[in-house]
Amino acid sequence: MKYIKKILIANDIKSVIEKEESFFNRKNIRIFNSSSNEEAFSIHKTEKVDLIITHLDTP
Protein backbone atom coordinates (compact mmCIF):
# COMPACT_ATOMS: atom_id res chain seq x y z
CA MET A 1 0.00 0.00 0.00
CA LYS A 2 1.34 3.41 -0.98
CA TYR A 3 1.58 6.10 1.67
CA ILE A 4 -0.51 9.18 0.86
CA LYS A 5 1.23 12.50 1.52
CA LYS A 6 -0.88 15.11 3.29
CA ILE A 7 -0.52 18.80 2.48
CA LEU A 8 -2.17 21.63 4.40
CA ILE A 9 -2.58 24.91 2.53
CA ALA A 10 -3.25 27.65 5.04
CA ASN A 11 -4.26 31.28 4.98
CA ASP A 12 -5.69 31.84 1.53
CA ILE A 13 -2.90 30.52 -0.68
CA LYS A 14 -5.27 29.53 -3.49
CA SER A 15 -2.92 30.95 -6.12
CA VAL A 16 -0.38 28.26 -5.20
CA ILE A 17 -2.93 25.55 -5.94
CA GLU A 18 -3.90 27.10 -9.25
CA LYS A 19 -0.31 27.61 -10.43
CA GLU A 20 0.91 24.16 -9.39
CA GLU A 21 -2.21 22.22 -10.28
CA SER A 22 -0.37 19.31 -11.86
CA PHE A 23 1.64 18.72 -8.68
CA PHE A 24 -1.41 18.82 -6.39
CA ASN A 25 -3.49 16.52 -8.60
CA ARG A 26 -1.28 13.50 -8.04
CA LYS A 27 -3.05 10.43 -6.68
CA ASN A 28 -0.84 10.07 -3.63
CA ILE A 29 -1.47 13.58 -2.26
CA ARG A 30 -4.37 14.67 -0.06
CA ILE A 31 -4.98 18.42 0.22
CA PHE A 32 -6.47 20.22 3.22
CA ASN A 33 -7.39 23.92 3.17
CA SER A 34 -7.80 26.31 6.07
CA SER A 35 -8.83 29.93 6.29
CA SER A 36 -7.16 30.76 9.61
CA ASN A 37 -4.15 29.83 11.72
CA GLU A 38 -6.41 28.25 14.32
CA GLU A 39 -8.09 26.05 11.73
CA ALA A 40 -4.71 25.07 10.26
CA PHE A 41 -3.42 24.06 13.69
CA SER A 42 -6.56 22.03 14.35
CA ILE A 43 -6.24 20.18 11.03
CA HIS A 44 -2.56 19.48 11.66
CA LYS A 45 -3.28 18.11 15.13
CA THR A 46 -5.81 15.61 13.79
CA GLU A 47 -4.24 14.74 10.42
CA LYS A 48 -0.48 15.04 11.11
CA VAL A 49 0.15 16.60 7.70
CA ASP A 50 3.51 16.18 5.97
CA LEU A 51 3.77 19.70 4.55
CA ILE A 52 2.19 23.03 5.51
CA ILE A 53 2.15 25.86 2.98
CA THR A 54 1.29 29.23 4.48
CA HIS A 55 1.83 32.93 4.02
CA LEU A 56 4.01 34.63 6.60
CA ASP A 57 3.41 38.31 7.25
CA THR A 58 6.41 40.27 8.34
CA PRO A 59 6.18 43.86 9.55
CB burial of residue 44 (10 Å; 0-12, 13-18, 19+): middle
3-class state of residue 7 by DSSP: strand
pLDDT digit string (tens) for 9-25?
776 666 666 665 566 66
pLDDT at 50 over 60: yes
Q: Is the pTM of this model over 0.85?
A: no
* Angstrom distance (rounded) from CA 56 to CA 43: 18
Domain residue extents for the chain: 15-53
Q: Which residue has the higher pLDDT, 22 or 40?
A: 40
Predicted confidence at residue 42, as pLDDT, reads 93
Q: Over range 19-40, report the average pLDDT.
A: 76
